[in-house]
Structure 1
Amino acid sequence: MPEIQSITEAKQLHSKYRGFEASLQQLDARYRDGYEEGYLRGRASKIISQPPEIFSVRQLHILFVSSGKGYPYSPIDEAITATLQSLVTRVTVINSGTSIAEAAVQLSPDLVLILDGMFISREELDRIREQGFRTAVWLTDDPYYSDLTITKVQHYDFVFTLELNCVNLYKQLGCEHVYYLPFGVRTEHYQPLLAQVPSSLKRDISLIGSGYWNRIHFLHPILPHLMKYNTNFNGIWWDRLPEYPIYQHKIELGKWMGPIETAAAYNASKIVINLHRSHDDDSVNNNSLHIPAASPNPRTFEISACGTLQMSDARDDLVRFYEPGKEIVTYSSPQDFLEKIEFYLTHEKERQEIALAALERTYRDHTYNSRVNELLSIVFP
């Protein structure tokens, strides 16, 4: 080691050493992050490579009436169409803007399956049934538009709803065949990215969706703390946040993200927040009965299918689908929310184990293949 000639030279050498030490620490952190991400992707790859359950193909012709409402409903239309095509011998797809009764007469399907059905008249539905065709509806937005659905459900042979609390409501209206059937996930769209995510896309926390007022009220008091992390918002109405001008560089406002882009954002995040909309927000809902929502939204399954840790508010029926603390993380208050955010951002192993358990559960139990097969098993026992 060369002899130090002066205090100035000693300080320079010390500064160089400190810089070298800092560089080593940065390299070590990058190596550790790369190893942890590679471990997560490797485990995820093994999970999704497991052979899926194979369902029998039924000798049926399904006339599927898509929602016709565009995004964000169109990915659900596509998912159900593709799944039906793998489970029955013939599928004909039309949208709700055409004459369904005429199409049924021409095609003679075994089932007329309607998604959403909000824009189809009761007279049209009655004509289809009078001609002897079996009908079913899969409702997309229960309980938020129950004022509209309660005027239509009696005109179907089978009613499928993604909200548990609507089952008894529809039965009380005289519907004989009502079933609880949440949506699932299309794994062609929502899956773990097996290559490492580019560093420019990585974020600590994501929230993708609309800035409903209940979300604004929940986040507003804790937003400064939340934004200390690398947090990104995507969706409409987030300019309702009083702090929007401060954080707008972290908020992609007014953009609907398709499934592939959404899945990429989930994969780039360590934690994805799922804060369900409120059932009693009269500014956007048509739910004058104020039917509470107990069931998880479709986003619940989509986040979990990407191998990312999900933090969700605790809905009553969530435990039917994921075990809190093992397959999903739930929170009960803003303080609980912040404490769990901090914990899982600093405990990599715990975060990964929950994310991988949710991924495995989703691919096993919560795909559209499972859901549509269940629907067909009910209609055609």
Structure 2
Amino acid sequence: MSIRNGRRKSRQSALSYETGYAAGRSHGYRTGCCQTVLQSVSPPVYPVLPLRVLYIRQGFEAIDRGVEEALSALVSEPYTGNPGDLYRLASELRPDLVLVMNGLHVFPENHLEMVAQIRAQGIRTAVWFADDPYFTDWTPSVAVQYDYVFTHELSCVELYRQAGNPRTHYLPLAASTAIYRPMAVENRYHSDICFIGNGFPNRIGFFNEITPFLTRHRIVIIGALWERLAGYEKLAESIRLSWTPVDETVKFYNGAKLVINMHRGAVDPVYSKNARNIEGRSINPRTYEIAACGALQLTDIREDLALYYTPGQEIVPYASAAEFVNLADYYLHNEAERNRVAVRGLHRTLRDHSFRSRLFQLLNTVFPGESI
């Protein structure tokens, strides 16, 4: 090896070391700040209610686990089951409440008949819709079969009331902080910008606009349908066209300098069942989940966003692709401010957006003055 080549390799090694050291220091500092928040914020404390509650899972791992953990802390007798066991478990356990998550997709065809039979036994039933408004061709017929309806979507409250269920309530989702939490992760999870979700048409259009910006950064995009990007070949090495497990999602969020949240388009004749063209007005569960990881989140704007996070302080909203690029460039170059916003978002999530808080609100609605 020549002296010149040796010196070049030494400089390259030194540069790689400095780059890796800086990245490690940056992620370590963020993790340390998040740990301070975790130690300073206590979960909400509620009385244990003398209730027997049967929860029927939908198959949304993070949401199901969040609800199950909350019920374990809130009621004296919590039970869980799968959709196919709905009627059998309700008949055997005779709970005070059967709570069904979503009631779509994986539920048997006769699930509404089972609900009617359960109600005929004097057992109260409730459904919590987590997919609104994307399947509103189907959900009104489900809603009218339950005693109580809860939806995370503002635009669907009046829909279900007009369909025939006056006991419909707006109840936002939350984050399972046992799953979504700050952590140190390996370098392979590190990125400048991360997005996890399917390439629905509105997202494809947005990412087409920001592709020139993304090519200048270390990015991660995970989900189906992204091969339809106009600049797919330019980003292909950074795209994983597959589903990723929840625990992997958490690691990618933790490894990113910033995470994009972009809601899917509600009016989509191919991927939605929403013939009424009901617009989405409420934030998705991903909003809480990203924040619970202590990651900086750049999100498109939904009507109720400011009810749950302070824009510019705990979360960073953008209204266009051009604004996103400007904001992303700013926060990528301003580590201290990036960490301040991320840590504030984590604090707000731990304090206000637990499933324990949401389930206490739900139980207080179903059993007003009876057991609470």
TM-score by length of 1: 0.88
Q: What does 1:338-353 align with in structure 2 at a 5 Å threshold?
A: 338-353=325-340
Is the 2:62–2:179 contact (alpha carbons within 8 Å) kept by the matching residues of 1? no
Is the 2:56–2:86 contact (alpha carbons within 8 Å) kept by the matching residues of 1? no
Give 1:66's aligned residue.
Answer: 57
Give 2:150's aligned residue.
Answer: 160
Matched residue of 2:80: which SS?
strand
Give 1:313's aligned residue.
Answer: 300
The partner residue of 1:370 within 342, 349, 357 is 357
Give 2:140's aligned residue.
Answer: 150
Q: What does 1:276-355 align with in structure 2 at a 5 Å threshold?
A: 276-355=263-342
State the shift of 1:359 in Å: 0.4
Is the 1:226–1:338 contact (alpha carbons within 8 Å) kept by the matching residues of 2? no
- 1:249 maps to amino acid: E
The partner residue of 2:117 within 118, 127, 131 is 127
The partner residue of 2:177 within 172, 187, 210 is 187
Q: What does 1:8-87 align with in structure 2 at a 5 Å threshold?
A: 31-50=21-40, 51-67=42-58, 73-87=60-74
Q: Deviations over 1:281-326 (max 9, x none)?
A: 0101111111110100000000001111001001111111111111
Matched residue of 2:257: which SS?
strand
Q: CA 1:33 to 1:246, structure 2 compared with 1: closer, same or farther past 3 Å?
A: closer
State the shift of 1:120 in Å: 5.2
Matched residue of 2:138: which SS?
helix
User: d(CA) in 1 for partners of 2:80 and 2:11?
Assistant: 64
How many residues align structurally? 362
The partner residue of 1:117 within 86, 89, 103 is 103
Is the 1:147–1:286 contact (alpha carbons within 8 Å) kept by the matching residues of 2? yes
RMSD of aligned residue pairs (Cα, Å): 2.4
Q: CA 1:97 to 1:30, structure 2 compared with 1: closer, same or farther past 3 Å?
A: closer
Give 2:131's aligned residue.
Answer: 141
Unaligned runs of 5+ in 1: 1-11
User: d(CA) in 1 for partners of 2:301 and 2:267?
Assistant: 17
**Structure with bigger RCO (C-alpha 8 Å, 6+ apart):** 2
Give 1:108's aligned residue.
Answer: 94
Matched residue of 1:151: which SS?
helix
Unaligned runs of 5+ in 2: none
The partner residue of 1:252 within 240, 250, 256 is 240
Counting aligned pairs with the same residue, the percent is 38
Q: Deviations over 1:215-244 (max 9, x none)?
A: 001111321221210011011111111322
Matched residue of 1:295: which SS?
coil
Q: CA 1:120 to 1:377, structure 2 compared with 1: closer, same or farther past 3 Å?
A: farther
State the shift of 1:91 in Å: 2.0
User: d(CA) in 1 for partners of 2:19 and 2:79?
Assistant: 54
Q: Deviations over 1:233-286 (max 9, x none)?
A: 0111111113223322111112x2222111100000001001100010010111
Is the 1:273–1:311 contact (alpha carbons within 8 Å) kept by the matching residues of 2? yes
User: d(CA) in 2 for partners of 1:25 and 1:122?
Assistant: 63
The reply on whether 1:227 has 2:215 as its aligned counterpart is yes
